[in-house]
């Protein structure tokens, strides 16, 4: 990202592809989530301004720091998660509209940035000095180690198919020249693995054991109130926007034309339907599912990608 002036850079990070834009789109998507869930359960569902009202209310509520908690870390953890999502948003958008403008290795940076939200959740939950929070944090950690292996294997598929490009811009250009990577056997397997990892990264139902509302009372977020909770909600909303965008960029041709928007909505609705039609896994079942089943398929996808299938 060379050649941007200071104000332009600030604008990009704070307003257009960065913070404000991704927050607004993410909040609208959380409404889509709640509306589709309501329709699946044969309900009317909340009005469209519901996530904005929730956010406004949370920002004005009292923020409680539990007695004995590590105050600075407890309050800084949500900022860490949200900041990582802002940078991710700028990188992903920049790559889609200007494929040659990014730097070499931004794919690796993105993988690390997507690892920061679970890290922020674990740090915040551990700092809150609540036993249920600690249970949630340990589950989140186990889950993270579970899905990261198949996720990385699946991400290798586009890299191999494009001839070893680790720049997102090169991946997008390769797909615009030779068709999306999704339209091949290894691409389908890789995209499905990434879809399952997205479900786990978002903490949605089959993989929501870290915040299981019925057993550990929203676990990792149990001690958060007011602004801290609002920031974690925002982080989740931005992830709901950015993770499907990442899937489209890697496998389904990027934002080459306006067809990307129906594709994007299709993936989001698919995630919501999976969320609404599945029971929760136990943490050991989730680990087995990710390591042994999806890990095996990931290796298969990598082998298929090497043999040009």
Binding site for another protein (CB under 8 A): 34, 38, 41-47, 49-50, 53-57, 59-64, 213-214, 217-218, 221-226, 229
Least CB distance to another protein at residue 189 (A): 37
Non-local (6+) Cβ contacts of 279 within 8 A are 205, 206
Are the C-beta atoms of 242 and 264 separated by less than 8 Å? no
* Region for residue 30 given its phi and psi (left: phi exceeds 0; alpha: psi -120 to 50; beta: otherwise): alpha
Measured from the CB atom, the residue of 2 and 44 that comes closer to another protein is: 44
Least CB distance to another protein at residue 61 (A): 5
DSSP string computed for 162-195: TTS--SHHHHHHHHHHH--TTSSHHHHHHHHHHH
Measured from the CB atom, the residue of 49 and 292 that comes closer to another protein is: 49
Q: How far is it, in rounded angstroms, from Cα 174 to Cα 96?
A: 12
Locate all alpha helices (DSSP H) within 98-226, ordered by sequence: 106-127, 131-161, 168-178, 185-202, 213-216
Least CB distance to another protein at residue 28 (A): 16
Q: How far is it, in rounded angstroms, from Cα 249 to Cα 243?
A: 10
Least CB distance to another protein at residue 267 (A): 24
Least CB distance to another protein at residue 18 (A): 24
Measured from the CB atom, the residue of 1 and 38 that comes closer to another protein is: 38
Measured from the CB atom, the residue of 41 and 307 that comes closer to another protein is: 41
Measured from the CB atom, the residue of 214 and 307 that comes closer to another protein is: 214
């Amino acid at each position: 990202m060379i050649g941007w002036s200071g104000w332009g850079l600030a604008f990009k990070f704070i307003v257009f592809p960065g913070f404000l834009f991704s927050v607004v789109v993410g909040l609208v998507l959380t409404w889509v989530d709640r509306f589709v869930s309501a329709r699946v359960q044969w309900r009317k569902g909340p009005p469209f301004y519901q996530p904005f009202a929730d956010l406004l209310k949370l920002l004005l509520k009292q923020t409680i720091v539990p007695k004995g908690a590590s105050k600075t870390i407890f309050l800084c953890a949500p900022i860490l998660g949200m900041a990582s999502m802002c940078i991710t948003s700028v990188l992903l958008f920049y790559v889609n509209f200007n494929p040659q403008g990014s730097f070499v290795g931004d794919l690796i940076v993105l993988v690390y940035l997507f690892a920061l939200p679970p890290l922020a959740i674990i740090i915040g939950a551990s700092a809150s000095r609540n036993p249920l929070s600690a249970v949630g944090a340990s589950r989140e950690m186990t889950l993270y180690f579970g899905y990261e292996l198949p996720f990385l294997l699946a991400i290798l598929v586009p890299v191999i198919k494009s001839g070893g490009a680790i720049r997102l811009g090169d991946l997008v250009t390769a797909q615009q020249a030779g068709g999306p990577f999704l339209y091949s056997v290894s691409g389908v397997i890789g995209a499905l693995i990434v879809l399952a990892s997205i479900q786990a990264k978002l903490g949605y139902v089959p993989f929501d054991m870290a915040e299981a509302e019925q057993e550990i009372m929203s676990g990792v977020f149990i001690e958060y109130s007011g602004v801290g909770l609002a920031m974690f909600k925002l982080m989740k909303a931005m992830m709901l926007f950015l993770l499907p965008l990442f899937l489209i960029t890697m496998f389904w041709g990027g934002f080459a034309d306006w067809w990307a928007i129906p594709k994007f909505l299709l993936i989001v609705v698919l995630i919501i339907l999976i969320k609404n039609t599945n029971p929760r896994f136990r943490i050991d079942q989730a680990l087995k599912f990710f390591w042994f089943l999806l890990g095996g398929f990931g290796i298969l996808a990598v082998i298929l990608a090497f043999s040009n299938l």
